[in-house]
Amino acid sequence: MSSPDLRGGTAGNGGATPALDVRSASKTFGSIRVLHDVDLTLAAGELRALVGENGSGKSTLVKILAGYHMPDEGTRIAVGGREVAPHHAGVSETAGLRFVHQDLALVGALSSVENLGLGRGYGNGRMRPLAWSRLRREAREAIGELGYHFDVDRPVATLGASERTALAVARAVSPHTSTARVLVLDEPTANLPGPEVEQLFGLVRRVRDAGIAVLFISHHLNEVFDLAESVSVLRGGEHVATRPVAELDETSLIELMVGHSVERHAGRRPSAAAATVLSAQRLSGGSVQRLDLDVAAGEIVGIAGITGSGREAVASLMFGAEPAAGTVTVNGSPIPPGRPDASIAAGMGLVPAERATKAVMLGHDVAENLSISRPKDFVRRGSMRRRLEYQAAAGWLEKLDVRPREPRMPLAALSGGNAQKVILARWLRLQPKVLVLDEPTQGVDVGAKEDIHQRIEEAAGQGCAVVVCSTDNEELARLCGRVIVLGRGLETAQLAAPISADDITAACLADTRERSPREHHH
> In the chain, what is the greatest distance between 2 CA atoms, to the nearest angstrom?
76
Domain membership flag for residue 399: yes
Strand partners, 40: 22
Report if pTM > 0.85: no
Q: Are residues 426 and 438 in the same domain?
A: no
Residue 38, SS3 per DSSP: strand
Q: Are residues 45 and 74 in the same domain?
A: yes
Q: Are residues 267 and 254 in the same domain?
A: no
Q: Are residues 127 and 237 in the same domain?
A: yes
Domain membership flag for residue 71: yes
CB atoms within 10 A of CB 511: 8
Q: Are residues 98 and 58 in the same domain?
A: yes
Q: What is the pLDDT of residues 132-163, one digit of tens each?
A: 888 899 889 888 887 889 999 999 999 887 88
Domain membership flag for residue 515: yes
Decide which of 223, 258, 293 is a domain's last residue. Answer: 258
User: Where residue 342 sits, what CATH number does that domain have?
Assistant: 3.40.50.300
Decide which of 431, 457, 477 is a domain's last residue. Answer: 431
Q: What is the pLDDT of residues 283-331, one digit of tens each?
A: 999 899 999 999 999 999 999 987 778 999 999 999 999 999 999 999 9
Domain membership flag for residue 1: no
> How many structural domains does the chain have?
3
Q: Are residues 403 and 474 in the same domain?
A: no
In the predicted structure, residue 8 carries a pLDDT above the cut 80: no
Residue 458: give the domain boundaries.
262-347+433-522
Q: Are residues 388 and 448 in the same domain?
A: no
Q: What is the pLDDT of residues 427-484, one digit of tens each?
A: 999 999 999 999 999 878 888 889 999 999 999 999 999 999 998 888 999 999 999 9
d(CA 238, CA 16): 26
Q: Are residues 373 and 278 in the same domain?
A: no
pLDDT higher for 87 or 384? 384
Q: Are residues 269 and 322 in the same domain?
A: yes
Domain membership flag for residue 352: no
Q: Are residues 75 and 214 in the same domain?
A: yes
DSSP string over 158-201: GS-HHHHHHHHHHHHHS-SSS---EEEEESTTTT--HHHHHHHH
pLDDT at 138: 87
**Binning pLDDT at 50, 70 and 90, where does residue 191 land?**
low
Average pLDDT, the chain: 86
Q: Are residues 226 and 278 in the same domain?
A: no
Q: Are residues 122 and 228 in the same domain?
A: yes
pLDDT at 12: 37
Domain membership flag for residue 271: yes
What is the radius of gyration, based on Cα positions, of the chain? 24
Decide which of 258, 281, 297 is a domain's last residue. Answer: 258
